[in-house]
Chains A and B, each alone.
Chain A
Amino acid sequence: SQTIHQWPATLVQPVGSPLSLECTVEGTSNPNLYWYRQAAGRGLQLLFYSVGIGQISSEVPQNLSASRPQDRQFILSSKKLLLSDSGFYLCAWSVLGAGANVLTFGAGSRLTVL
């Protein structure tokens, strides 16, 4: 069966510090991978998605970046965090089949920037 791991679960970082969130998927090959951010009381905002190794699409220009060094690994990074980067970050994977792009989410990483 497929599983998705995301870490760390919680982190508190000062403004201007770097960030690295990691996500790995097991039990599937060549998944589509996603990074979302969820602010309190708002819908999920797609930050990045990837359809293969080294292929990253950015949906929202900001101080975040993503990389996919391996087929089932997706990393979200920042060189200098802003206060506005606080939020709940979710990694997800999907395999497009029969027209249904069903997303399976990791447990999430709650980031507080102070």
Chain B
Amino acid sequence: GQNIDQPTEMTATEGAIVQINCTYQTSGFNGLFWYQQHAGEAPTFLSYNVLDGLEEKGRFSSFLSRSKGYSYLLLKELQMKDSASYLCAASDSNYQLIWGAGTKLIIKP
């Protein structure tokens, strides 16, 4: 079956670095997405990886290893506004997204 696993909750300190891991199993693969979702709001797109390696976008970076079925989202210089849930989603052979339950990131001062 198709499955996405990511930690339920993580805590980090303002100004620090945090890495949120995601493992996936899908029927076919057409890329890995990360979305950010603040409480009570809709998810917003952060990043997309389809090839192995690291994609950097400002304070956020996303890494993919297709052979390991693994991705991570790296957040640097954490700010209080980064407190949110981070959703990992893999695109299958039909370009449908398989979603993880999300990782709630709590930032402490």
Contacts and interface: CB of A to CB of B under 8 A. Distances in A.
A31 interface: no
A42 B8 CA distance: 10
A90 to B, nearest CB: 6
A11 interface: no
B41 A107 contact: yes
Given A101-B95, A102-B33, A102-B48, A43 B42 contact: no
B73 to A, nearest CB: 16
A107 B91 CA distance: 23
Contact of A90 (B4, B42, B102): B42
A107 B4 contact: no
Interface in B55-109: 87, 89, 91, 95-97, 99-102
A100 B50 contact: yes
Interface of B is mostly: loop
A103 B45 CA distance: 7
A99 interface: yes
Interface string A78-113: 000000000000100000100111111111101000
10 contacts: A43-B100, A44-B99, A45-B99, A90-B43, A100-B48, A102-B48, A103-B45, A103-B97, A105-B43, A107-B42
